[in-house]
Structure 1
């Protein structure tokens, strides 16, 4: 320090005021009166080391430096030497990754066949209704030829067509009816399992008992209605439909027995009456097939054509006088 400055006390004060500390946060400058401070009085930031403002330091000569520290703990040094070998990996079960997946469980073929046959029941019932309708037409056509033959001769070609129609329907109708009956038994098994399962109950009747009640002659005039009524769940409309179907089913069985007994008569009039009886039986059988399909659709919650059934809600409307008064 020069001698003039040393002798002048004002110059010493100026020298002291020229040394400041800069705040690293707010950049405020605070004069150093004694020992350097550490925290900024304004923002409590960190104060840098004292700097002489009369002698600005170059950029490369700053009195602070940035230090970067990792937020993670220091990594310990790895042990030298070969790694230790652990136990051999093994699986307690088949792993779920890879190209080889376990085979799916083999389905129960018996249940699958029953379900497939149950799905075919509506189609077979529709075919039975068509075949029995054609049988009724064939029998009525033959009866018309009998009436026509009372006064005139019938052409051989027309008679051959009539015989072909009668024989074709008489052979195909029983086979289609038997297939529809077996499919209906399968549908009954599946429907009872589903409906009773929704109620939290188990079907007390075995599939064999259901098959015997539907397919055995004589017994099948009573038991199918009982089996179907157990699925109605108190629905009055479904119960009424089942009663109509049951009546047509019993009537069809009575007509089949009457046809078998009527064929024992050999007179021409009896044979002509037998043709009419066969036509009526075929019509009743066609109607029974349609009603059977309708009962199935009703229990499944659908209409006759297989569409979801719409529920009609009746609401009591006020009278016009009350509406006008309000």
Structure 2
């Protein structure tokens, strides 16, 4: 910011603060935008500041042209031009959660479950989920066909049915039963394969081998009536190894036992030839399919409970915490004593840091 003295005509760079008096002749400084249009009056200058007599003979600046004004400038050379910013590029995307972050000493001894001894070679979670949903759909279809068959049996007591309709409903129930049985076998094989791979990954994460061999797991999960005992035991061992609770394994176990008992009773009574025996067997088969459907639903919930948390991320994590001084102080000690014994945050007669 430049101001001109109205008396001696000296231009003063007052920077960013407007001043009133000229330091040389004690004359009045004009405003930054107002310049003298006429030469200052000739008179004896003030000698208090030792100004030379020839200062009044300097040429005075004329008025600025139209459209110009005085502006504040930075002293010295002009600043260098700013470098243009480089393009940042596309937004980074990650297929999985990034593992780079603050230093985590607890993660040094983790085992990679995708490579090495803890590799999971079993079916993916999507495949297991799709298999369970398909089995649920086929079981639901079998339930609907047997309900329709029972309704036609009630109607056939007083009305003669169309042979084509009777054949469609009868053979439809048979086809639905075959598809449901095939779906249950495929579901058992897929779930057993997933259980073996999950157990291998969990025990490898803990640095040891699975105490059960593969042939024990296959036999305990696929042999009928034997799997009622050993398959839930294998699953409970897996849950304990991962430190999980509340997975509804017991509810699934009870539903599976009831479904198996009703299914065996339905197969045993399927050889009835009289009308009432056929109707009773149809009701029993419908209940068996409903219990099987509930069992598959509970299996899906148990599977989702395991898949919500990866193998290498434990449920509980123990962290070492330094002992805080004075944490074990008894309650009888007054708070004033602890406040007096604490060191002063600031020294006396000193201003606090900004």
TM-score w.r.t. structure 2 length?
0.50
Larger helix fraction of residues: 1
Q: Which structure 1 segments of 5+ residues have no match?
A: 1-106, 303-326
Tell me by how many angstroms 1:200 deviates. 3.3
Kindly indicate whether the alpha-carbon contact (under 8 Å) linking 1:117 and 1:186 is maintained by their aligned counterparts in 2: no
Q: Which of 270, 291, 294 in structure 2 is aligned with 1:287?
A: 294
CA distance in 1, matches of 2:194, 2:266: 30
Q: Which structure 2 segments of 5+ residues have no match?
A: 1-114, 310-354
Q: Which of 269, 282, 288 in structure 1 is aligned with 2:276?
A: 269
Tell me by how many angstroms 1:190 deviates. 1.1
Tell me by how many angstroms 1:264 deviates. 3.7
Tell me by how many angstroms 1:119 deviates. 5.5
Q: Which of 249, 273, 290 in structure 1 is aligned with 2:256?
A: 249
What is the match of residue 237 of structure 1?
246
Kindly indicate whether the alpha-carbon contact (under 8 Å) linking 1:248 and 1:284 is maintained by their aligned counterparts in 2: yes
Q: Which of 218, 226, 230 in structure 1 is aligned with 2:225?
A: 218
Kindly indicate whether the alpha-carbon contact (under 8 Å) linking 1:242 and 1:295 is maintained by their aligned counterparts in 2: yes
Tell me by how many angstroms 1:153 deviates. 2.0
- Superposed CA deviations along residues 77-128 of structure 1, whole A, max 9, x for unmatched, are xxxxxxxxxxxxxxxxxxxxxxxxxxxxxx99xx88x524775322212111
Kindly indicate whether the alpha-carbon contact (under 8 Å) linking 1:119 and 1:187 is maintained by their aligned counterparts in 2: no
Describe how 1:286-325 pairs up with structure 2 within 5 A: 286-301=293-308
Q: Secondary structure, in 3 states, of the residue corresponding to 1:297?
A: helix
CA distance in 2, matches of 1:172, 1:282: 12
- Alignment: residue pair count: 191
Tell me by how many angstroms 1:263 deviates. 2.1
Q: Which of 123, 133, 141 in structure 2 is aligned with 1:126?
A: 133
The reply to whether residue 196 of structure 1 matches residue 214 of structure 2 is no
Kindly indicate whether the alpha-carbon contact (under 8 Å) linking 1:131 and 1:169 is maintained by their aligned counterparts in 2: yes
Tell me by how many angstroms 1:206 deviates. 1.2
Tell me by how many angstroms 1:236 deviates. 3.4
Q: 1:117 to 1:171 in 2, by over 3 A?
A: farther
Q: 1:119 to 1:201 in 2, by over 3 A?
A: farther
Q: Which has the larger radius of gyration?
A: 1
Kindly indicate whether the alpha-carbon contact (under 8 Å) linking 2:149 and 2:169 is maintained by their aligned counterparts in 1: yes
What is the match of residue 186 of structure 1?
193
CA distance in 2, matches of 1:182, 1:118: 14
CA distance in 2, matches of 1:175, 1:263: 19
- Superposed CA deviations along residues 26-78 of structure 1, whole A, max 9, x for unmatched, are xxxxxxxxxxxxxxxxxxxxxxxxxxxxxxxxxxxxxxxxxxxxxxxxxxxxx
Q: Secondary structure, in 3 states, of the residue corresponding to 1:236?
A: coil
What is the match of residue 72 of structure 1?
none
CA distance in 1, matches of 2:244, 2:188: 25
Kindly indicate whether the alpha-carbon contact (under 8 Å) linking 1:115 and 1:190 is maintained by their aligned counterparts in 2: yes
What is the match of residue 147 of structure 2?
140
Q: Secondary structure, in 3 states, of the residue corresponding to 2:238?
A: coil
Q: Name the Cα RMSD after superposition.
A: 2.3
